[in-house]
Amino acid sequence: MHAWPASEVPALPGKGRDLKIHDTATQGTITLAPGPVARIYVCGITPYDATHIGHAATYNAFDLVQRVWLDTKRQVHYVQNVTDVDDPLLERAQRDGHDWTELAERETVLFREDMTALRMLPPQHYIGAVEAIPGIVPLVERLRDAGAAYDLDGDVYFSVESDPHFGGVSHLDAEAMRLLSAERGGDPERPGKKNPLDPMLWMAARPGEPSWDGGSLGRGRPGWHIECVAIALDHLGMGFDIQGGGSDLVFPHHEMGASHAQVLTGEFPMAKAYVHAGMVALHGEKMSKSRGNLVFVSALRRSGVDPAAIRLALLSHHYRADWEWTDAVLEDAVARLARWRAAVSRPDGLPADALVEEVRAALSADLDAPAALAAVDRWVELQLAGGGDDESAPGLVSRTVDALLGVAL
Ligand code: 5CA
Ligand code: ZN
């Protein structure tokens, strides 16, 4: 699949700092010092509805990661998937009488437009589950041949007991895992499984559902976790820097994915850091396609909201916080954007070298975007109150805000 166009990232004077980031697996903050090419995998959308503010907030967090790395003069190798075949997509298409491929294609097009408008940097590899199937099948065969997967009425399950590190991403107890598994696509109640938590790797073809040639597995379609593992290993290899997604992916998705990869390769860990964004709520509940309490990025754009204001609204919350979308959040962002634009449109201003370092310091410390905004706010207030005579300052502030925060002033 093709991704979306990249907006240019201005180079800043000097060099940024290495990223310190909270890692779910070690339950602490670690300093990542990637080589010249930093590697990141971020779980993509299941395209059965438009991009909502919750999605955008999660992708914003990982966009900041890349901007921090680029500022350290590294290259970034970024991979993202599209879960373009899965139960929720098929169910939605069936419910609405649409062709599932057309639904997936339409929503993926819209997602690309939203990401472009929000100035999110595109992945180098943007891979659909369907196009990944030829790479998934041999992985499932290998797991089965190694005794880490088993057949149940034609479906193939991964045995969580085959990974000595299983549980090391989420640190949940068995009961919590069972509940989350049932809630998030698993089938802990299915009789015949070796362990109720075992996730499906390959689902045998069901009548009326799409299916693909699975070689020795028979016709069917891939499970959700192995999809991301196959794409990540194919394009990044083991030991990449960050596996990213929202906190609703900690279990089972990222736990299972790590186990699949570790059993397949015999290496540990799959990713140096497992990074999770908090959940955005609307009217007191997590914004979710299944609940339908959504604010769409595309709807805001259509109603005339500047995407830069949406981006500032996302940035005004720490990525790890759970937060609530309200009209006031957006109004504050619109007002902030206007102030910032007024401040940088003056011909000269207060020297801004210290501000560049403050923004760098804030973002490298576990992506503290609210602290970065506060630093810019301070410069802006002084600038609007009178400013100085440094002709290069307004341009430097614009470039800093663009390069590190993805906001075009
Ligand atoms: N296709 C899978 C990942 S492989 C998936 O979870 N798709 S999704 O469309 O449901 O979500 C896409 C991304 O948005 C995931 O990282 C998910 O954790 C994140 N996300 C979903 N809802 C919210 C929310 N309310 N707030 C923050 N992030 C969210
Ligand atoms: Zn994923």
Per-residue pLDDT for 164 more than 90? yes
Helix and strand element counts for the chain (H, E)? 13, 14
The pLDDT mean for the chain works out to 97
Contacts of 32 (CB under 8 A, 6+ apart): 18, 19, 20, 21, 38, 241, 242, 272, 273
CB 275 within 8 A of CB 240: no
Instruction: Measure 391 CA to ligand 1 centroid, in angstroms.
Output: 43
Identify the residue whose C-alpha is closest to ligand 1 atom 28.
Answer: 54
Burial of 192 (0-12, 13-18, 19+ CB in 10 A): exposed
For position 290, what pLDDT does the model report? 80
Farthest CA pair distance, the chain: 76
For position 395, what pLDDT does the model report? 98
Q: How confident is the model at residue 309 (pLDDT cuts 50, 70, 90)?
A: very high
For position 349, what pLDDT does the model report? 94
Instruction: Measure 253 CA to ligand 2 centroid, in angstroms.
Output: 7
For position 314, what pLDDT does the model report? 98
Q: What is the pLDDT of residues 234-293, one digit of tens each?
A: 999 999 999 999 999 999 999 999 999 999 999 999 999 999 999 999 999 999 878 889
Q: How confident is the model at residue 229 (pLDDT cuts 50, 70, 90)?
A: very high
Instruction: Measure 257 CA to ligand 2 centroid, in angstroms.
Output: 8
In 3D space, the residue among 280, 231, 276 whose CA is nearest the CA of residue 255 turns out to be 276
Query: The tokens 């166009």 sit on which residue?
Result: 5
Q: How confident is the model at residue 108 (pLDDT cuts 50, 70, 90)?
A: very high
Q: What is the pLDDT of residues 320-368, one digit of tens each?
A: 999 999 999 999 999 999 999 999 999 999 999 999 999 999 999 999 9
- Asked if residue 320 has its Cβ within 6 Å of ligand 1, the reply is no
Instruction: Measure 371 CA to ligand 2 centroid, in angstroms.
Output: 30
Q: Determine the atom of ligand 1 nearest the C-alpha atom of 224.
A: 4
Q: How confident is the model at residue 387 (pLDDT cuts 50, 70, 90)?
A: confident
Instruction: Measure 344 CA to ligand 1 centroid, in angstroms.
Output: 35
Identify the residue whose C-alpha is closest to ligand 1 atom 6.
Answer: 45
In 3D space, the residue among 122, 150, 153, 142 whose CA is nearest the CA of residue 42 turns out to be 122
Q: Determine the atom of ligand 1 nearest the C-alpha atom of 47.
A: 9
For position 335, what pLDDT does the model report? 98
For position 404, what pLDDT does the model report? 98
| Amino acid (one-letter) located at 316 | S
Instruction: Measure 45 CA to ligand 1 centroid, in angstroms.
Output: 6
Tell me the C-alpha distance between 187 and 319, whole Å: 31
- Asked if residue 74 has its Cβ within 6 Å of ligand 1, the reply is no
Tell me the C-alpha distance between 271 and 239, whole Å: 5
- Asked if residue 167 has its Cβ within 6 Å of ligand 1, the reply is no
CB 30 within 8 A of CB 23: yes
Q: Determine the atom of ligand 1 nearest the C-alpha atom of 246.
A: 18
CB 272 within 8 A of CB 239: yes
Tell me the C-alpha distance between 235 and 78, whole Å: 9
In 3D space, the residue among 59, 74, 67 whose CA is nearest the CA of residue 4 turns out to be 59
Q: Percent of the chain at pLDDT above 90?
A: 98
pTM of the complete model: 0.98
For position 134, what pLDDT does the model report? 98
- Asked if residue 43 has its Cβ within 6 Å of ligand 1, the reply is yes
- Gyration radius of the chain over CA positions: 22
Q: Determine the atom of ligand 1 nearest the C-alpha atom of 88.
A: 10
What b/e string do you get for 358-397 counting C-beta neighbours within 10 Å, with b at 16 or more? bbbebbbebbbbebbbebbeebbeebeeebeeeeebbebb
- Asked if residue 184 has its Cβ within 6 Å of ligand 1, the reply is no
* Bond before 252 cis per omega within 30 degrees: yes
Instruction: Measure 401 CA to ligand 1 centroid, in angstroms.
Output: 26
